Copies of this chain bind each other. A is one copy, B any other.
Amino acid sequence: MSTIVVLSGSPSAVSRTAALCAHLADRLGSLGHEVRTVHVRDLPAEALLSADTGHPRIAEVVGLIGEADGVLVASPVYKAAYSGLLKTLLDLLPQFAFTGKVVLPIVTGGSPAHVLAIDYALRPVLTSLGADHVVPGWFVLDRHIVLRDDGATLEPDAATPLYRVADAFAHAVDARRPLARAS
């Protein structure tokens, strides 16, 4: 069984990005993966901003990512790019923290005008972390994520392509395992 870490990079307490992450974590789990979710906003602020990798909570997350086969990286769009919060975590990872892993970028935003932030802003950062397979990402409009007391549901039209992307990611994570063992 392969393991996937879901990184939620929204600073909001009531976050569509976080709700979407929970939704996707469920789906990836149902496809047979062990999923661990990390809400960057729950990590200690001081340690994050000073890149204190000796802090136990930070060290734990770095360790989780190190052992994962796949990483889903989710962020709201702020100022035409990923959130600074998410980037503070990515900044303190080892330079090639994503080597050998499959990575899925997911971005949420209020307007389709920000779609290209996935491929022009987030993807280059993920690639620089040594990921050899960043699968096609997806942009989810805020209004397609319906917050509820017990999580979120997706508008049906938005769910279909998103699930296709998530399933392709899960498939790529699975395909990676035997290759990784063989090498």
Q: A interface vs B, CB < 8 Å? A: 11, 41, 45-46, 48-51, 78-91, 93, 95, 111-117, 119-121, 123-125, 127-136, 139, 168, 171-172, 175, 179
Contacts and interface: CB of A to CB of B under 8 A. Distances in A.
Chain A contact residues: helix, strand, loop or mixed: helix
Q: Copies per complex? A: 4
Contact of A87 (B83, B93, B112, B171): B83
Contacts of A41: 49-50
Contacts of A134: 134
A133 B115 CA distance: 19
Nearest to A114: B116
B80 A49 contact: no
Given A11-B50, A111-B112, A116-B113, A125 B81 contact: yes
Contact of A113 (B83, B89, B112, B172): B112
B124 A81 contact: yes
7 contacts: A83-B91, A84-B85, A84-B91, A111-B112, A113-B139, A120-B121, A121-B124
